[in-house]
Amino acid sequence: MTLQDFVANFAAQFDETDVSAFNPETKFHDLDEWSSLLALSIIAMVDDEYDFKLKGNDIRDSVTIEDIFKIVNAAS
C-alpha cells in the first residue's frame, strides 16, 4: 500500500469534491462535502481495500488523510 494509492481511494469516496483537493495533508474534516455518511464510506473502503477495521474514533482523532493512512499502515 502506498500513500498515493490510499489518497486516491480516499478521494474516490467523494462525489462533489474535486480530486485536486486531496493530498496527504488534506484536512478532510474541513471539506464541505465531509459528513458522517462519508465517514462510514471511508470505513467501508478501508475494510474492503485494506482488510482493516477502522473505528469511528480513528477518524474522529485524525486530522489529515495521512493520519488515517498511518493507522491502517501500522496494522499491516
- How does pLDDT run across 8-40, given as a tens digit for each residue? 999 999 999 999 999 999 999 999 999 999 999
Q: What is the pTM of this model?
A: 0.94
Among the listed residues 57, 63, 69, the one whose alpha carbon sits nearest the alpha carbon of residue 26: 63
Among the listed residues 69, 39, 35, the one whose alpha carbon sits nearest the alpha carbon of residue 57: 39
CATH 3.40.50.970 fits 3-14+22-74, yes or no: no
Report pLDDT for 58: 97
**The three grid cell numbers given for residue 33, joined into one nine-digit string:** 462535502
Report pLDDT for 76: 74
